[in-house]
């Protein structure tokens, strides 16, 4: 049986290696790991974001009211979360309070505290049902871009 011989051109060409992406794809569910919780604590995956930031985000995007009255804080928080969900496609966004990060990466002076808690814009929790609904890496990247890329989401320990 005759097997075709490769041409000289085929022998001279070496395949060009493709650069590896930094992660599997933008459609990969994120986060990909769950740290161990101590004493059955609930964990939140998200960003250390102040209530003020979410209210300002909403206030900048809401249409002015007819009577020129200001929106209340509750309305701004609610509408801000809805707008962030619509912008990113992350429909599990919520606002939670935490006590500490599960890692040592955030410098203490960079953590925003409100009263006795760390405010967290939560992408998902450590609850198994919610982990199944976690967003894609592309959706998380869109949310990270809103913060100017200065902070990455991380796991936080509940109060």
End-to-end CA distance of the chain: 74
For residue 107, pLDDT over 80 is answered with no
| Tens digit of each residue's pLDDT (9 = 90 or more) over 38-61 | 787 889 999 999 999 999 999 999
Domain ranges of the chain: 40-158
Q: Is the model's pLDDT at 22 over the cut of 70?
A: no
What's the CA gap between 44 and 111, in Å, rounded?
15
């Amino acid at each position: 049986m005759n097997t075709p011989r490769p041409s000289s051109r085929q022998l001279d060409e070496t395949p060009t290696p493709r650069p590896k992406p930094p992660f599997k794809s933008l459609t990969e569910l994120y986060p990909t790991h769950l740290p161990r919780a101590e004493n059955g604590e609930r964990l939140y995956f998200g960003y250390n974001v102040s209530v003020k930031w979410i209210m300002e985000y909403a206030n900048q995007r809401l249409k002015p009211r007819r009577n020129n009255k200001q929106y209340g804080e509750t309305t701004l928080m609610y509408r801000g979360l809805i707008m962030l969900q619509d912008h990113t496609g992350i429909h599990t966004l919520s606002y939670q309070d935490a006590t500490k990060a599960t890692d040592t990466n955030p410098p203490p002076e960079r953590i925003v505290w409100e009263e006795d808690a760390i405010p967290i814009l939560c992408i998902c929790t450590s609850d198994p049902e919610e982990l199944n609904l976690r967003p894609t890496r592309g959706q998380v990247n869109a949310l990270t871009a809103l913060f100017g890329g200065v902070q990455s989401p991380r796991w936080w320990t509940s109060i």
